[in-house]
Structure 1
């Protein structure tokens, strides 16, 4: 299986750009709050194949820039990592784990127990919805 480790915000950029916004440069893939986030990488045979960033606010935690290299998608790695990240929040005073999901990925997240909590909206020409799961 994959090995999940904490990584730096800088280490997330290449995969963020390649998977999420290949038409833009890496600078476009930065998040203003990156320096405040918790960043995770999934390694397979020593190679970084997936990244995720978490941002804590009062009682919730937000997932941003969750991306897996295309050749490793559909193999269960994303489910494993997302379940791992949710489990890591136990014991923290947080009630909600949430994110903006691309509409094309809704089925994946529904299968992991997340619910759609908004109407669809546009970000840079891509349709998204908010999704969340209660942690309590």
Structure 2
């Protein structure tokens, strides 16, 4: 397993397949993709997990984090989050947050993230804002 920085374009096939398969690939873009840090996990030479992080001052937002279904539950996503948290701490980021699908809340809690505010929806998918202090 190898975690490396990739381009925003390289994230799109996995974002699309995992997060929004019933939408267009264009729907899976983030307006600020050009400004983000994009990471990929390669397993046996194939890209299997992607994540995008947008840093604004001392805050960093995780967006479009996705692991191919056949690779979920193998620690790949956890390794990605650990890698991102380490990189953000080295950059002096003090707050890490994301809009987490409700079904993924337990995953994020394992890293010390906690829900903030009320449940909200993107389309018919329930989310919570989750955050944690890094310093």
TM-score class, shorter-chain normalisation, is over 0.9
Q: How many angstroms does 1:92 deviate by?
A: 2.1
Q: How many angstroms does 1:93 deviate by?
A: 3.0
Moved more, 115-124 or 46-55: 115-124
Residue in structure 2 matched with residue 115 of structure 1 by the alignment: 114
Residue in structure 2 matched with residue 38 of structure 1 by the alignment: 37
SS at match of 1:32: coil
* TM-score w.r.t. length of structure 1: 0.96
Structure 1 segments unaligned to the other structure (5+ residues): none
SS at match of 1:19: helix
Q: Determine whether 1:102 maps to 2:101.
A: yes
SS at match of 1:82: helix
Equivalent-residue separation in structure 2 for 1:93 and 1:132 (angstroms): 16
SS at match of 1:117: strand
SS at match of 2:118: coil
* TM-score w.r.t. length of structure 2: 0.97
Equivalent-residue separation in structure 1 for 2:110 and 2:93 (angstroms): 22
Please give the residue correspondences for 1:1-136 in structure 2 after superposition, counting only pairs within 5 Å. 2-136=1-135
